[in-house]
Structure 1
């Protein structure tokens, strides 16, 4: 819109002239001759999170806690009681016109509006002109969760999971905080985050993703979530029509994952105003996701545009259209919308595309998921094979090292056992050496005693020899005297002493030999003990 209309409340006539002139100059959303590529029918699988635990927690809260929630986050809990009608979704999705982002029923266009969503949520904290926009530098996921929950970094990081391309935190972790958190305000904040993550912006079943947390983190600053919810509604419906299928996880209601165009001037009749030609140029190319190099610039431009809005001041009249609108509506190109028969009015059911049976749809869905699983399994098997090849080499090396370590330990144990035996043998040998030394000392003393006795005997023998000589002489002199018996007795004593001395000398030699043998064995054991100590 021209700068002259920014930040002002304009009358119906001024906006009417500006809109039709701009549409005339720039052209329509798509040109004549456009061939639709949409499928003939839309397959929708209504898969949603189990919200029963959220309902039970809400029902257990007292009126004071509920009023605190209403004051901060509006009437969001009422959506817990809304039942999802799969057949209604399937029927309505076929009438979604992605070219103009509206439902087209014959000659009438209907658009979900910001005003309707604002009234539905009824949140007093929302400021209508403060919209959510994805920041260029988004704080880390764990930092946002720390601010919302009041928990520590360690607690948060331990519970963050990877689901596909996004980071998430599980509902189980958040539920535990809701039930046990001592801070009543934090408890309400975590419950509201769970509602947004599981019901309004579901991404992975049972988890709240990072994009939802980024939006929720800005709600405390007066930012309204309505345009974000409305944008995701448009994007989801367009995705269903363009892909020929889609998934409504509860009610996917702008952009936490992307952005899309919205034409407020297309719904004037819904507010009881005169409908004129809206500006639609470039609308078909308005959708983009938050990926790539240019999306941040586009987000910045959109945020700036919301700071310069223009409101229409009109007088409510009975629904009417301008002639220019009727002409434009008749010649515009819509995108594969079911049209009524020219033969006359018929029930609305006949306007719907012929669709396969529920069983066939389920079968097709099962086959599609089965094929995806088979591809994923094949990919995982291939990755497993490569991983096993990568693991086998170090595994073999580790096994080799283990065997070597085991052998070294066995050798060490053998050496320890041998060392123990050597110590026992050495101790025994030392004992034997000690005993040998004791015996040697004993026999040395005995030897000394025997030597002393031998000396005494020799002295005595000399004396006896002298005495024998003297007796011999006396024999000659005393022939008459009988001294033969005394002589024999003396000779017997001499022989007996000679025999005793011979035995003593023999025993002394044996002891000397034994002591020498023990000394040799002690030297050998000392050498063995020294070698064993070096090895240990």
Structure 2
């Protein structure tokens, strides 16, 4: 089983009561340009999951072992023991937490103890459905986790489905992993004390830091409602402090968004709606039909839809995240101002621009300074290269001049040697001439005498 099941288990922080009058939250201001949503990348970081598992998603298999067989594999108990503890809650089969708790305390196999404890966490905290019971659908996912399937898209799917159900009804209770959603809330609101994150440490866990820094927070229900009703763009920490820039999943297959396969149903989400959380420029994304994409695992046609959503994950589209100040396009501000609930207009195909053009980054002041530095650095490199070239030519000139000088020296030396020879010959000739003259004078004098 993956190690990170129990890595972040500790005392949960205070969770706001989402059973509160949700109709009050429906009056939240829409004029503020605040769109926030938990993303696959954020929940992956929160749960400290290995990044290479992000795209190994869970999908509901057509044929799965029966409930009691899966429980036998997970717990290592006999069929009789399992069958005696399976109960029915409505249309679903469940096993009580009391039975699992007894196993955790008495099971002789330490590995099975950890597996049963992890199953209890998934059933009671991550995917709670009936108080004190672990639903059969959870074992379908849990059975696949040993094959390195990630649970992040599944957790997000059921989170969005539960929030969507509360929104449509106007009242209700959020029944999914409220602790994880609250940790995400704490990371994005500047009105709440920030968390110091040591993200570059290998064993760093954001959840542990968030729990340690927010235990003292005990916000009443009315405070949460007031906070959400008066939420403005300046109150939002767009990028979670524990997020490290990486790849962003923004679409799968032929979809313009990302299908999330849950354990009870499937829902799609559009990361392109919250590009500011990644430090990118927010534009008007293609979302026509997104609101109608949700379905539950019932009926005659759901298996075909599950197959299509699962196959879409075989071809994912990603882009590189950057770290700059968030920004929006003018058209986005106009579009968001007139958007009403799920009535999102279909984008006009005429004059459509490629998504890569929209995703071009709006540079921050730091980025501009960096670009200016790189430009000057490039100019200096070109100047240095030119000087190096001139230096090379000068060296060649020096070598040529040296050769010429040496040649001149040799010629000078030869001339000097020739001159010295001529001087020597001249001196010898002068001596011979004098001797000849002296000898002739002596003979003439003797004759005269």
Q: In angstroms, what is the RMSD of aligned CA positions?
A: 2.7
Which digits, 9 at most, give the CA deviation of each residue in 1:13-69, with x for residues without a partner? xxxxxxxxxxxxxxxxxxxxxxxxxxxxxxxxxxxxxxxxxxxxxxxxxxxxxxxx8
**Other structure's SS at 1:239 match:** helix
User: Judging changes above 3 Å, is the alpha-carbon distance between structure 1 residues 183 and 124 closer, same or farther for their aligned structure 2 residues?
Assistant: farther
Q: 2:278, 2:322 within 8 Å by CA — same for their partners in 1?
A: no
Q: Name the CA distance, whole Å, in 1 between partners of 2:105 and 2:37.
A: 40
Q: Distance in 1 between matches of 2:51 and 2:326?
A: 33
Q: Report the Cα offset of residue 144 of structure 1.
A: 0.7
Cα deviation per residue 1:319-364 (whole Å; 9 max; x = unaligned)? 111233233323433359xxxxxxxxxxxxxxxxxxxxxxxxxxxx
1:166 pairs, out of 73, 92, 95, with 92
CA distance change for structure 1 residues 170 and 335 in 2, over 3 Å: closer, same or farther? same
With a CA cutoff of 8 Å and minimum separation of 6, indicate the structure with the bigger relative contact order: 1
Q: Is residue 274–residue 282 contact of structure 2 (8 Å, CA) maintained in 1?
A: yes
Shift of 1:173: 0.8
Q: Distance in 2 between matches of 1:159 and 1:201?
A: 20
Task: Return the offset for 1:96.
Answer: 10
Of 175, 192, 212 in structure 1, the residue corresponding to residue 101 of structure 2 is: 175
Larger of the two Rg values belongs to structure: 1
Report the counterpart of residue 261 of structure 1 in structure 2.
268
How big is the shift at 1:314? 4.5
Aligned to 2:40: 114
Distance verdict in 2 for CA 1:176–1:223, change over 3 Å: same
Alignment of 1:288 with 2:295, yes or no, is yes
CA contact (8 A) 1:142 1:156 kept: yes
Equivalent-residue separation in structure 2 for 1:105 and 1:222 (angstroms): 43
Structure 2 CA distance, aligned partners of 1:313 and 1:117?
A: 18
| Cross-structure match for 2:196 | none
Q: Structure 1 pair 263/95, CA: closer, same or farther in 2 (3 Å)?
A: farther
SS in 2 for 1:82: coil
Partner of 1:319: 326
Query: In the alignment, what sits opposite 2:164?
Result: 238
Q: 1:186 — aligned with what?
A: 112
2:17 is the alignment partner of 1:86: yes
Deviations 1:219-249 (A, max 9, x none): 1111111111111111111111112222234
Provide the C-alpha distance between the structure 1 equivalents of 2:24 and 2:64, rounded to a whole number of angstroms: 34
Residue 133 of structure 1 aligns with which residue?
59
- Matches of 2:323 and 2:140, distance apart in 1: 39
Q: How has the CA–CA distance of structure 1 residues 169 and 230 changed in structure 2, closer, same or farther, with 3 Å as cutoff?
A: same
CA contact (8 A) 2:281 2:327 kept: yes
For residue 9 of structure 2, the aligned residue among 74, 77, 90 is 77
Tell me the distance in 2 between the aligned counterparts of 1:85 and 1:264. Answer: 26
Preserved contact between residue 56 and residue 148 of structure 2 (Cα < 8 Å): yes
Aligned partner of residue 108 in structure 1, secondary structure: coil
Structure 2 distance, partners of 1:245, 1:184, is: 43
For 1:70 and 1:223, locate their aligned partners in 2 and report how far apart those are by CA, in whole Å: 10
Taking the aligned partners of 1:176 and 1:122, their CA distance within structure 2 comes to: 29
Whether 2:146 is the aligned partner of 1:220: answer yes
TM-score when normalising by structure 2: 0.54
User: Structure 1 residues 315, 265: CA separation in 2 closer, same or farther (over 3 Å shift)?
Assistant: same
CA shift in 2, pair 1:250/1:281, >3 Å = closer
Cα separation, 1, equivalents of 2:21 and 2:176 = 14
For structure 2, list consecutive stretches of 5 or more residues without a partner in the other structure: 182-260, 344-449
